[in-house]
Amino acid sequence: MTGPGAALRPPQVTPGSALGAVPRDSRSPPAWTWRTRRRPLPLAILTTGTAVLGYVLYRTFAPFPAAPFGWVALAAAGSLLAGAAILLTPGLLTRMRNSRLLAVTATAGASPASQPR
């Protein structure tokens, strides 16, 4: 599609990824920023933050910690993966929010005045 509105349309997506859809322009964020006439500052901030996080993780785990600290790192990674799986599984987060069991445990620590009757 060519014309004045061609640069302002959202990026095309391809199905079949872990998130359900990935922008076709995800391989080239600077090119997408240029084509859509968006400001480059947010992209630069995200890129810098990702680089800093990657460096910190690399320096923390470059020689994997010896036991028992290695087990703590693996448990943290497992917890992170379980949380991501809950967020990315379609419908699971909604079912958890509507769960009667979780509603009871959420109000268990609340003051008696705020608990439903």
- Find, among 15, 17, 18, the residue nearest to 89 by Cα: 18
Domain total in the chain? 2
Judge whether residue 51 has pLDDT over 90: yes
Residues 42 and 23 in one domain: yes
* Domain presence at residue 110: no
Residues 55 and 70 in one domain: no
Task: Give first-to-last CA distance, the chain, whole Å.
Answer: 60
* Domain presence at residue 47: yes
- Find, among 5, 1, 4, 23, the residue nearest to 13 by Cα: 23
Cβ contacts of 94 within 8 Å, gap of 6 or more: none
Residues 22 and 45 in one domain: yes
* Domain presence at residue 113: no
Residue 103 pLDDT grade (very low, low, confident, very high; cuts 50, 70, 90): confident
Domain span holding position 100: 65-105
pLDDT tens, residue by residue, 53-97: 999 988 988 888 888 888 988 898 999 999 888 888 888 878 888
Whether the CB-CB separation of 102 and 96 falls below 8 Å is answered with yes
Amino acid 4: pLDDT: 54
Residues 82 and 51 in one domain: no
